[in-house]
Amino acid sequence: MLVVGAGTARAALAAPPPELEHPEQSASGALLVRFVGSPVQARHELELRAESSDTALQRYDGPGPSAYLSGLEVGAYSLRARVHDETGWSEWSAPSALRVEAPSHARVWASLVVGASTFLATLGLIVFGVRRTRSRELGLQSGDDAA
């Protein structure tokens, strides 16, 4: 595209590629990617490539300052993005590394113990409350019979 102004013609340059801001690793397979340095409502395209594959997967194409990725399997990935403005698409950003790791066994067991303890404590409180309520009701009924 050529832009003509003040008697000179020059090539219009597309916007610079956005910088990517995201965690370096994820244990859940989900992450938020922010596009830094481009207009908030600009259209962005985010490309994800598994380290073990030559095929890039387009994971996001749309407006906004960020994209949420989920469902990533354990492995190493690279991300890159570009932005679209009135002059066209920018160049792709430099690849950014991401590693998805499985949660540690200790973390899984700790979560299980906390969840089971919470369940048992809640169940205990419910049973205690029901028994207490019944004993009060029985006490009131026996007091009515005595009168």
Do residues 71 and 28 lie in contact, with contact meaning Cβ atoms separated by under 8 Å? no
Rounded distance between C-alpha atoms, residue 132 and residue 26, angstroms: 47
Is the pLDDT score of 3 beyond 70?
no
pLDDT of residue 126: 95
pLDDT in tens, 5-30: 344 443 456 788 999 999 888 888 88
pLDDT in tens, 75-124: 999 999 999 988 889 999 999 999 998 877 787 888 899 999 999 999 99
pTM: 0.60
Residues recorded for the chain: 147
Beta strands in the chain (DSSP E): 2-5, 8-11, 19-21, 25-26, 31-36, 43-50, 56-63, 66-69, 75-85, 88-89, 96-100
Type of residue numbered 75 = G
How sure is the predictor about 142, in pLDDT bands with cuts at 50, 70 and 90?
low
pLDDT in tens, 25-71: 888 888 899 999 888 778 999 999 998 888 888 788 999 889 999 88
Looking at the structure, give the CATH architecture of the domain made up of residues 15-100. Answer: Sandwich (2.60)
Q: Both tokens of residue 29?
A: 């397979």
What is the helix (H) or strand (E) element at residue 129, kind and residue range?
A: helix 105-146
